[in-house]
Amino acid sequence: MFENYLAVVDRKAKEICAVADGIFDHAEVAYTEKVSSAILADALEKEGFEVTRGVGGIPTAFRATFGEGRPSMGILAEFDALQGLNQAPGSTVKKTIPGPDVGHGCGHNLFAGGSFGAALAVKAYLEKRGEGRVTLFGCPAEENGAGKVYLARAGVFQGIDAIVSWHPEKMYMPRTRPALALITVNYAFEGVSAHAGGSPHLGRSALDAVELMNVGANFLREHMETTCRIHYAITDAGGDAPNVVQSHAKVKYIVRALTSEKVRALRARVDDIARGAALMTGTKVSWEVENAYSELITIPTLQKTAYEAMRDIPLPVPTEEENAFGRALQKTMPLTELPKTVYAEKLLEPAPAVAHGGSTDTADVSWCAPTVQMHIGTWAIGTPGHSWQAVAQGKSSYAHKAMLYASKAVAGTIMRLAEDPLLLERAKEEQREKTRGGYICPIPDEIRPAIPE
C-alpha cells in the first residue's frame, strides 16, 4: 500500500547513510552537538523541510517541518554520544582512534540517520496526499542530559497528534515495556577540617556523612517496593589525604520508581537519610536536583500499528562477511554461550508490558502526545549498550541496512495512522486516559539545561 513512498528510502540510501556516518565521525556529548545537529538539520533543509533551530532555548535542538494541516505527526531523532567510548569503527578489538574520548555507544548516529530517512518517505506521502504535516524533532542530550524533558517543559511537542520513534537494539520489536520515572540529586556535605592525628576531636567529617548516608540508603532497599531502584556514586571524597578530616564531600543519587509520584515519596526518604547522616556527624547537608524523567506512557494501539508496519517490511539479511564481523565481536562479549545466529532473524510480537529498571527522556514526550518506539536490530545479538562493541558497529554495512529498515518502519507506521483517523483517535484516547491530570515536568522550573558557556 505504501511501497512507492517507502522506496524513497532506497533511493536516498546514500544520503541517509552519509548523515549517520557524519554524526558518527563527529561524536559529541550532551548539549555540545553543534556539528551533529547541523549535519541533520542541514540535510533536512536541503530536502525541503522548514527548519527552526534552537527550539526550547537549547542551541542544538531543532524542529524540521513539512506540510500543513492534519494529521500532525512527529518523528524523534537523537545525535548525542557518550564520554569514554572512543573506538575505531569496524574493528573487532578494542582500538581507539585519534581525537576526543567520545563515541556512539548507543547508536544515536543511526537513530538520527534512520529518522531522517523516515521523514523523507513521509514527505513523499504527504506531497501526494495533499494534506497533513510531519515534524522531525532534533533532540540533544538524551544521555544524562534530559534534553527532551526540557523540550517538553517548553511545550515543543504540543499540537502533535502522534509521535513515532525507534532505537538501535539487538532485536526487531515494538517497545511495550514501560520505563521508570527517575530523579538525580546531588548531595553536598560541609564539615570542619582538622588534623586526623593531632586534633581529630575538632574535625567534623563530610566524608563520614556521605558514607553513613550510603549505609542508610542500603538499609532502605529492604523497605521499598521491589520495582524501585536507588543508585549512588561518590563524586567528591574531599581530598586524598587520609590524615586530614574531610571538610567537604559530595554524592550523586539516582532514585527510580514506577511513577513520578512514587519517585517523590522515595526521594523524600533519601533526603531524610541525608539529614540523619549530617546530624550524626555534626555536618551540614544541601542538595540540588540535576535532572528528572517521568514514567513512559505506552499506547497499545500504536504498538499494534507499529508491529503491522514492521511486519510488512522484509528484515535485513546479513552477508557472510557481515556475519563474520558480528560473530567476531560476539566472541568478545560477556556471553554464556554464542547465540545460534549473529543478528536477529525474526520480528517479535509486542510482549507483555513488564516494567524494567531503565529510564528515558522519551517518557516526557509520551506525556505530551501519544508515542511509540521500536527496537531495531542494528547490533549483533548480545551486544551490550554503551560498549565499545556497539561503537564498533556504528558504521557497519549491516547496521546501515537495519537503519534503513527503521526508516521504512517509522514511515509506514505514520502512514497507517494518517490513513485511519479512528485509529489515531483511539491512540489519543488511550493517552488521555493514562495521563489524567496532565503533564507536570519533573524538573523544577529553576533548573536549566547544562549547556556549556
CA geometry: angle at 407 spanning 404 and 408, to 5°? 95
In the chain, the amino acid numbered 316 is P
CB 293 within 8 A of CB 182: yes
The domain defined by 181-292 carries CATH number 3.30.70.360: yes
Q: What kind and span of H or E run contains 376? A: strand 374-376
Cα separation, 207 vs 129, whole angstroms? 65
Q: What kind and span of H or E run contains 162? A: strand 162-164
- The CA dihedral of 74, 31, 48, 113, to the nearest 10 degrees, is -70
**Architecture per CATH, 3-179+296-434:** 3-Layer(aba) Sandwich (3.40)
* Domain spans, the chain: 3-179+296-434, 181-292
397-419 vs 300-311: helix crossing angle, rounded to 10: 120
User: pLDDT tens per residue, the chain (453 residues)?
Assistant: 799 999 999 999 999 999 999 999 999 999 999 999 999 999 999 999 999 999 999 999 999 999 999 999 999 999 999 999 999 999 999 999 999 999 999 999 999 999 999 999 999 999 999 999 999 999 999 998 999 999 999 999 999 999 999 999 999 999 998 899 999 999 999 999 999 999 999 999 999 999 999 999 999 999 999 999 999 999 999 999 999 999 999 999 999 999 999 999 999 999 999 999 999 999 999 999 999 999 999 999 999 999 999 999 999 999 999 999 999 999 999 999 999 999 999 999 988 877 678 899 999 999 999 999 999 999 999 999 999 999 999 999 999 999 999 999 999 999 999 999 999 999 999 999 999 989 999 999 999 999 998
- The CA dihedral of 169, 174, 177, 182, to the nearest 10 degrees, is 60
In the chain, the amino acid numbered 286 is S
User: For residue 410, what are the CA distances in angstroms to 134, 227, 293, 416?
Assistant: 12, 31, 24, 10
Cα separation, 341 vs 48, whole angstroms? 41
Q: What is the DSSP letter of 341?
A: S
CB 381 within 8 A of CB 339: yes
CA 302, 148, 123, 134 torsion-angle sign: positive
Q: C-alpha grid cell for residue 154?
A: 517548553
Q: What is the DSSP letter of 52?
A: E
- The CA dihedral of 6, 8, 11, 13, to the nearest 10 degrees, is -80
Cα separation, 23 vs 2, whole angstroms? 29
CB 125 within 8 A of CB 415: yes
Is the whole-model pTM more than 0.75?
Answer: yes
The yes-or-no answer to whether 3-179+296-434 and 181-292 have a common fold is no
Cα–chain center distance at 147: 9
User: For residue 146, what are the CA distances in angstroms to 31, 184, 236, 367?
Assistant: 10, 10, 23, 15
Q: What is the DSSP letter of 47?
A: T
